């Protein structure tokens, strides 16, 4: 419709004298940018204060829990302090959950097991948070992104909360974010925290160091089940669960379980006072799923009654503090321009066979001390 504020004219490509029926279009002139009214922003996210987020979490506001997690996961320096303030505020309300790490090779059935177990626990009125930890997520992004769809039933439960792994970043960064996210979930009132991690690289060790109970989900194969399993992983597990024990696979699963039991017999259990055993389950039929949970409950009772839970968590925190400090010192040293230059010099000398390795290291150490251990200037 014509508007009196605009000049309406026929464009030049309309033939002279053509009728309006043939060419009903008309063109408006543009609006001067200076005269144009500023557009209202469509949506401006509210900047919550730490206190608002703390209160939100303690009042079980899921939207604010998600916002707080986003702040914790942010790499922006302005969010770091806000995040730490939130953690400080919720800290007295944390520690009341059971933290369970679940590992296994890709495709072992971790997500399906979490879906089967989590849904049953929610039906019993428990509050379940599921977190994924995958520091190598740039490689395996697909599997973690798929988790929400794989946990379809669980994600519909009002008392379940599913959060995928914070993406990218350093191992230390992802670990901090996951640990702190776990604390936020505890303060919110989730009494069960299930942490899924793909069994590749350093992931298992990282997750083991942040949970109470560590479960390895295993597969049955063609008789060579134990071949591909690193003994090291079995040594840090509190239970081994042979999944997919259904249909034709059931018999094989029972055999695999016996094989695992035999190996476990020779290993030192991951937790003092606990005997690590192998179990079978089917996340499809549900057989063995709640029985696995009973084992975890039994473990928790033993840990609480013996005072080991308290000790393990304190040990884990101290270890984590050491780790963070080490990482910081490492960056401080190896990002120092003078140290970088000294390393380049040393490399030249080594390549030219002009210095011994011990001397080279001594040179570098001297440089580091000179640069980073200077007495404070007055």
Ligand X SMILES: Nc1nc2c(ncn2[C@@H]2O[C@H](COP(=O)(O)OP(=O)(O)OP(=O)(O)O)[C@@H](O)[C@H]2O)c(=O)[nH]1
Q: Which residues bind ligand X (CB under 6 A)?
A: 104, 106-112, 143, 150, 198, 243-244, 246, 282-284
Burial label for 217, CB within 10 Å (0-12, 13-18, 19+), is buried
Please report how close the Cβ of residue 198 comes to Mg ion at its closest, in angstroms: 7
Do strands 98-103 and 213-218 pair parallel, antiparallel, or not at all (unpaired)? parallel
Please report how close the Cβ of residue 120 comes to ligand X at its closest, in angstroms: 14
Please report how close the Cβ of residue 149 comes to Mg ion at its closest, in angstroms: 11
Nearest-angstrom CA–CA distance, 165 and 150: 15
Name which of 104 and 118 has its Cβ closer to ligand X. Answer: 104
107 binds, among Mg ion, ligand X, none (CB under 5 to 8 A by kind): ligand X
112 binds, among Mg ion, ligand X, none (CB under 5 to 8 A by kind): ligand X
Name which of 25 and 142 has its Cβ closer to ligand X. Answer: 142
Name which of 178 and 271 has its Cβ closer to Mg ion. Answer: 178
Residue 243, interface with Mg ion (CB under 5 A)?
no
Name which of 95 and 106 has its Cβ closer to ligand X. Answer: 106
Residues 105-124 that bind Mg ion (CB under 5 A): 110-111
Please report how close the Cβ of residue 233 comes to ligand X at its closest, in angstroms: 14
Please report how close the Cβ of residue 114 comes to ligand X at its closest, in angstroms: 8
Name which of 14 and 255 has its Cβ closer to ligand X. Answer: 255
- Degrees to nearest 5, angle at CA 167 with 163 and 173: 100
Tokens of 243: 């999944």
Nearest-angstrom CA–CA distance, 81 and 85: 6
Please report how close the Cβ of residue 196 comes to Mg ion at its closest, in angstroms: 6
- Degrees to nearest 5, angle at CA 23 with 19 and 24: 100
106 binds, among Mg ion, ligand X, none (CB under 5 to 8 A by kind): ligand X
198 binds, among ligand X, Mg ion, none (CB under 5 to 8 A by kind): ligand X
Name which of 161 and 274 has its Cβ closer to ligand X. Answer: 161
Please report how close the Cβ of residue 110 comes to Mg ion at its closest, in angstroms: 5
Q: Are 112 and 154 in contact (CB under 8 A)?
A: no
Residues contacting Mg ion: total by CB under 5 A: 2
Question: Smallest Cα–Cα separation from 240: which of 102, 100, 98, 99?
Answer: 102
Tokens of 164: 């995928």
**Chain residues in the site for Mg ion (CB under 5 A):** 110-111
């Amino acid at each position: 419709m014509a508007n009196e504020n605009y000049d309406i004219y026929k464009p030049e490509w309309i033939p002279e004298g053509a009728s309006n029926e043939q060419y009903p279009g008309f063109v408006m002139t543009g609006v001067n940018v200076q005269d144009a009214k500023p557009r209202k922003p469509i949506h401006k996210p509210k900047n919550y204060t730490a206190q608002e987020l703390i209160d939100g979490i303690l009042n079980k506001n899921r939207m604010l829990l998600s916002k707080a997690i986003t702040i914790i996961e942010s790499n922006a320096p302005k969010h770091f302090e806000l995040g730490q303030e939130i953690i400080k505020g919720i800290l007295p309300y944390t520690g009341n959950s059971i933290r369970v790490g679940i590992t296994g090779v890709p495709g072992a059935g971790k997500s399906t097991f979490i879906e089967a177990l989590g849904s049953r626990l929610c039906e019993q009125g428990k509050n379940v948070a599921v977190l994924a930890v995958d520091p190598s997520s740039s490689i395996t992004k697909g599997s973690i992104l798929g988790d929400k769809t794989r946990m379809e039933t669980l994600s519909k439960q009002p008392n379940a909360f599913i959060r995928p792994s914070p993406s990218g970043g350093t191992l230390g960064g992802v670990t901090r974010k996951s640990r702190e996210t776990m604390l936020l979930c505890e303060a919110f009132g989730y009494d069960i925290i299930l942490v899924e991690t793909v069994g590749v690289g350093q992931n298992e060790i990282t997750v083991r160091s942040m949970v109470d109970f560590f479960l390895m989900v295993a597969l049955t194969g063609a008789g060579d089940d134990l071949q591909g399993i690193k003994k090291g992983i079995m040594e840090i597990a509190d239970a081994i669960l042979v999944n997919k024990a259904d249909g034709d696979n059931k018999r094989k699963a029972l055999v695999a379980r016996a094989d695992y039991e035999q190996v476990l017999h020779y290993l030192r259990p991951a937790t003092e006072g606990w005997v690590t055993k192998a179990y079978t389950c089917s996340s499809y039929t549900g057989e063995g799923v709640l029985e696995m949970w009973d084992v975890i409950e039994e473990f928790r009772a033993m840990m609480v009654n013996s005072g080991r839970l308290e000790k393990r968590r304190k040990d884990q925190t101290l270890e984590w503090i050491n780790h963070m400090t080490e990482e910081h010192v490492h960056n401080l040293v190896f990002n120092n321009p003078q140290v970088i230059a000294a390393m380049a010099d040393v490399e030249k000398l080594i390549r030219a066979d002009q210095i011994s390795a011990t001397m080279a290291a001594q040179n570098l150490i001297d440089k580091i001390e000179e640069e980073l251990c200077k007495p404070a200037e007055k």
